[in-house]
Amino acid sequence: MPTPFTHRFEVGWGDLDFNGHMRNTAYLDLAATVRMLYFQSQGFEMPEFERLRFGPVVLKDEVEYFRELRLLQPVLVGIELAGLSPDGTRFRIRNPFQTEEGKLVAKVTSTGGWMDLNLRKLGPPPEPLRRVLESLGRSADFEELGGKPAG
């Protein structure tokens, strides 16, 4: 089983809402950052996305909250594969957020696909990109994604 990928952050001033805890869009921002850090850690640098003219597109995000995060509190953000279509075009990625003590704070689950930037539509990613995605650890509820997204 692949080693889980996590990145440590501290909750910043701009991450807070009126109530003094981390705002929902800050969770989405950190989840997206961790996704790209993961690809970079696997040798898939950002210029490679540009060269291949392929990029990730999020079709749906879901955030589940379990505890608060406050200013300057450390948070560990992981990444795991929760779903994948047989050809790799569509994916579901989950980002668990945990305290340094291992308590689950939140989960962001993003369903998306790979966009061919020349054709401006979803399509199977180039093989090197697909291998990087498939090397992610799988969630306990991993499922094969079928069909085409609505729209």
Domains of the chain: 5-139 (3.10.129.10)
| pLDDT tens sequence across 60-82 | 999 999 999 999 999 999 999 99
| pLDDT tens sequence across 27-50 | 999 999 999 999 999 999 999 999
Q: Where do the H-state alpha helices sit in the chain?
A: 24-41, 46-52, 127-134
Cα dihedral 115, 118, 119, 125 in deg (nearest 10): -40
In this prediction, residue 150 carries a pLDDT of 47
pLDDT, the chain, mean: 93
The model's pTM: 0.92
Pick the closest to residue 107 from 19, 28, 12, 3 (CA basis).
28
Pick the closest to residue 49 from 140, 137, 114 (CA basis).
114
CA dist., res. 144 & res. 78, Å (int): 21
